Amino acid sequence: MKLDSLIPAPLRKPAKPGEGNGASGPAPADLKSSPPERPSDAKRLTDRAVEAPVDVLAWVDQRTAASGFLTGMLYRKVPKGTNWFYTLGSATLIAFVSQAITGVFLAMFYTPSTTQAYASIAHINNDVFLGALVHGMHKWGSSVMVILVFLHMGRTFFFGAYKYPRELNWVIGVVLLILTMTMAFTGYLLPFDQRSFWASVVGININGTGPVVGPYLSDFLRAGPELGATTLSRFYAIHMLLVPGAIIALIGAHLYLVVKLGTTAPPWLKAEKPKAATPASQLNAGAEGNGATPAS
Amino acid sequence: MSDETDKQNGAEATARPQPDPPGYFEGESMTRRRAFTVAVQGLGGIAGAAIVLPAVGFAVAPIFHRGKERWEGVGPVGDFVEDTYRQVVFTETEGIGDAGKTTAYVRKGSKLFDEDPKAFIAVSNRCVHLGCPVRFVEAAGNFICPCHGGVYDFQGKRIGGPPVRPLDQFQTRIRDGQVELGPRFSVTSQLEPVRARDPGEFTGGIWEYLYPPRPSTFPPPSG
């Protein structure tokens, strides 16, 4: 059986122009001279079973009209030369999803209180089933995400993918970079051990060196003149409520623009000349690839 | 069409006023549709502000809140001498256990530096580069920071490394023969007291404006 038949018709890859989609298939045979055989019950049941998920999807599609968007997104054109570097953005997204999932489960055991935070982390690491693993995934995953964000940014920069008309996506990406750093910074304090305490002290003081607004920014982050009890709950709220919401919204905008505008070809590929612009006499029949005019 | 008819029939025949500009009737400064649009948007803005402003105010309120002044005794007067520091630990921030404690180096005022011999000097161990804890090294007579190599002299003035001003100090007073330490204050390069600044922020001169004093800090001791 062709795998294609399992995909509901609206989700199937649209046929190329001119090939047709079988809507006007072969004419039906004469039903009187050769009536079709009645299929067995078992066959009809399996057919129904195969059809069921398709029917469900079709039911949803009739009410959401999502298939047009999905086919447009899933079967969008990508340029020639698309390579592994183009997966860095998806890798960053996966890292974020991993952080979100592990973070939700860590929040089930964590206590954002100055007197209990360290003990609750120790409890996660030492007592909770697979707690050390989930905590470790979250801890090391944050570094992975920061590294991937920078690699993704480097790819975009060196491939020139920030240029017109994708400048806005670059700007959104910069905001996402800042938010990612905010996540890394606020998350660092949460275990509330000596290392995270002093790292946060130093980090807040670096924020404070900004002229005029710096001192007030420090007071805002600490919720007072000294790092205190409310600093931890404040960092916790920023870390798990404020910034993740902003990141999710901006990732949505980021992906929308990626799908809307398409990706760029790598810079080493020359632009393909429109066929009409090349006179037939100059077309090199044997040449492969991008249709560049042969050197003469 | 109606304009042409007007011309043909004469102005008297059609006394009905024509909206000018279109959509506006005589005496109106805006159309009904526009008035409702503005009103609904205004109401929406008020409703949004009623939600957002208290929340933002709640979040930024600590910037403008000053805690209660706190004094803590650190030892009898006789414990402290002029020519070296004695390390004391006391609570600067209440309610967070050991994390709220801080270290100060205390000595008696010395005539060598034109100080009041009855006063006590309490130097904070918080490096004014980025907030690491400094240590008083007896042999050198200096404060040395382990993080980035900041060095301060006996009075707490910067003599090397990245720090931007002398070490902070705490207010001192004597109650019942006990030396008590109070709120933190910062000093300029000439050791003039100013309101407490965070590490990394310059003091004195134009820096008093570029790094303005925060409402959450206490006024410096006078004199």
A285 within domain boundaries: no
Which tokens belong to A171?
A: 């700007």
Choose, out of B206, B216, B218, the residue to mutate when testing the contact with A (most A CBs < 10 Å).
B216
Please compute the mean of the pLDDT values over residues B183-193 and round it to a whole number.
93
Q: Do A225 and B132 touch (CB under 8 A)?
A: no
With residue B91 as reference, give the H or E element that holds it. Answer: strand B86-91
d(CA A51, CA A171): 46
- DSSP state, residue A243: H
CA distance A216 to chain B (A): 6
pLDDT score at B209: 92
Q: Is residue A18 part of a domain?
A: no
Whether the predicted pLDDT of A273 surpasses 50: yes
Q: For residue B223, give both structure tokens.
A: 């004199």
A166 domain-assigned:
yes
Asked if pLDDT for residue B22 goes beyond 80, the answer is: no
Chain A residues within 8 A of B92 when measuring between CB atoms? 226
Asked whether residue B11 carries a pLDDT value surpassing 60, the answer given is no
Residue A291: predicted pLDDT: 46
Residue B41, burial from CB neighbour count under 10 angstroms (0-12, 13-18, 19+): exposed
Q: How far is B173 from chain A (nearest CA, A)?
A: 22
Supply the pLDDT for residue A6.
66
Instruction: Inspect the interface and report whether the beta carbons of A215 and B198 lie closer than 8 Å.
Output: yes
**Mutation site for A-interface testing, chosen from B102, B128, B130, B202 by largest number of A Cβ within 10 Å:** B130
CA nearest to A223 within chain B: B62
Are B132 and A198 inside 8 Å of each other by CB? yes
Q: How far apart (Å, rounded) are the C-alpha atoms in residues A91 and A146?
A: 11
Residue B162 has pLDDT above 90, yes or no: yes
Alpha-carbon gap, residue A173 to A167, rounded angstroms? 10
Maximum distance among all Cα pairs of chain A, rounded to whole angstroms: 95
- Closest CA in chain A for residue B218: A225
Domain positions in chain B: 1-65, 72-210
Around Cβ B51, how many Cβ atoms within 10 Å? Answer: 9
| Pairwise CA distance, residues A177 & A167, whole Å | 15
Q: Say how far apart CA A143 and CA B115 lie, in whole Å.
A: 51
Sheet arrangement for strand B151-152: B135-137, B142-144, B151-152, B158-160
Q: Is the ipTM of this complex over 0.85?
A: no
B60 to chain A: nearest residue by CA?
A220
- What per-residue confidence (pLDDT) applies to A269? 87
Helix H or strand E encompassing A207? helix A194-208
Range of the domain at A112: 84-261
Q: Is residue A277 part of a domain?
A: no
B202 contacts B211 by C-beta, under 8 angstroms:
yes
Angle between helices A117-126 and A131-158 (to 10 degrees): 100
Q: Between chains, do B96 and A229 touch, taking CB under 8 Å as contact?
A: yes
- Closest by Cα among B89, B107, B109, B108 to B99: B89
Would the pLDDT of B89 be above 90?
A: yes
Number of H helices, E strands in chain B: 3, 11
**CATH number, domain with residue A99:** 1.20.810.10
Q: Which residues pair with B187 in a beta bridge?
A: B193
Q: How many residues does chain B have?
A: 223
Strands B169-175 and B193-195, sheet pairing: unpaired
Calculate how close chain B gets to A145, using CA atoms only, in Å: 27
Q: What is the mean pLDDT of residues B153-178?
A: 94
Count the helix, strand and coil residues of chain B and give each as a percent rounded to the nearest 5: 25, 25, 50
Q: What are phi and psi of B183, to 5 degrees?
A: -65, 155
Q: What is the mean pLDDT of residues A38-49?
A: 86
Burial A242-271 (b: 16+ CB within 10 A, else e): ebbeebeeebeebeebbeeeebbbbeeeee
Find the range with the poorest average confidence among A78-92, A261-275, B62-76.
Answer: A261-275
- Write down the pLDDT at residue B129: 92
Q: pTM to 2 decimals?
A: 0.77
| Better pLDDT: B219 or A270 | B219
Distance CA A217, CA B200 (A): 14
Select the more confidently predicted residue: A198 or A279: A198
Could you tell me the pLDDT band of residue A37, with boundaries at 50, 70 and 90?
confident
* pLDDT at B7 > cutoff 90: no
- Asked if residues A106 and A139 have their Cβ atoms less than 8 Å apart, the reply is no
Q: How many CB atoms lie within 10 A of CB A280?
A: 6
| pLDDT at site A296 | 42
Judge whether residue B59 has pLDDT over 70: yes
- Tell which of A196, A213, A218 to mutate to test the B interface (max B CBs under 10 Å): A218
CA distances in angstroms from B184 to A200, A237, B223, listed in the order given: 20, 29, 15
User: Which of B147-159 are b and which e, b meaning 16 or more Cβ less than 10 Å from the residue's Cβ?
Assistant: beebbbebbbbbe
* A177 inside domain: yes
CA of A226 to nearest chain B CA: how many angstroms apart?
7
Amino acid at B148: H
Is A230 within 8 Å of A224 (Cβ atoms)?
Answer: yes
Q: Is B209 exposed, middle or buried (0-12, 13-18, 19+ CB in 10 A)?
A: exposed
What whole-number distance in Å separates Cα of residue B170 and Cα of residue B68?
A: 15
C-alpha span between B150 and B132 (Å, rounded): 10
Using a CB–CB cut-off of 8 Å, the residues of A that contact B are: 114-115, 192, 197-198, 201-202, 204-206, 208-209, 211-212, 214-216, 218-220, 222-230
In a domain? residue A9: no
Of A197, A205, A228, the CB nearest to B130: A205
Q: How far is A131 from chain B (nearest CA, A)?
A: 26
Rounded Cα distance, A215 and A157, in Å: 34
**Assigned domain for A174 exists:** yes
Q: What is d(CA B52, CA B39) in angstroms, rounded to the nearest whole number?
A: 20
Residue A277: pLDDT band with limits 50, 70, 90: low
Tokens matching residue A56? 């469900």
Give the separation between CA B104 and CA B143, rounded to whole angstroms: 12
Is residue A74, in this structure, part of any structural domain at all? no
Domain range B72-210, CATH architecture: 3-layer Sandwich (2.102)
For range B16-34, the mean pLDDT: 73
Mutate to test the interface with B, among A189, A216, A233, A234 (most CBs of B within 10 A): A216
pLDDT at A8: 66
- Whether A202 sits inside 8 A of B95 (CB atoms) is no
Collect all residues of chain B within an 8 Å Cβ-Cβ radius of residue A216: 63, 214
Task: Identify all chain A residues contacting B213, using CB atoms and an 8 Å cutoff.
Answer: 215
- At B130-160, the pLDDT tens digits run 988 999 999 999 999 988 899 999 999 999 9
- Whether residue A76 contacts residue A140, with contact meaning beta carbons closer than 8 Å, is answered with no
Q: Residue A41 has what pLDDT? A: 86
Number of domains in chain A: 1
Q: Which residues of chain B does A204 touch, with a Cβ-Cβ cutoff of 8 Å?
A: 198
Distances (CA, A) of B8 to A239, B4, B5, B14, B19: 76, 6, 5, 11, 20
Taking the Cβ of residue B146 and every Cβ of chain A, the question of whether any pair is shorter than 8 Å is answered with no
- State pLDDT tens for residues B194-208: 999 999 999 988 999
How far is C-alpha A192 from the geometric centre of its chain's CA atoms? 31
Q: Does the CB of B208 have a partner CB in chain A at under 8 Å?
A: no
The rounded Cα B87 to chain-centroid distance in angstroms is 28
Q: Does B139 touch chain A (CB under 8 A)?
A: no
**Per-residue confidence (pLDDT) for residue B14, from 0 to 100:** 56
Exposure of B124 by Cβ count < 10 A (0-12 exposed, 13-18 middle, 19+ buried)?
buried
Q: What is the mean pLDDT of chain B?
A: 87
> What average pLDDT does range A95-110 have in this prediction?
96
pLDDT tens-digit map of A79-98: 989 999 999 999 999 999 99
Chain A contacts of B211, Cβ < 8 Å?
A: 211-212, 214-215
**In this structure, is the dihedral angle defined by the CA atoms of residues B172, B164, A209 and B126, taken in order, positive or negative?**
negative
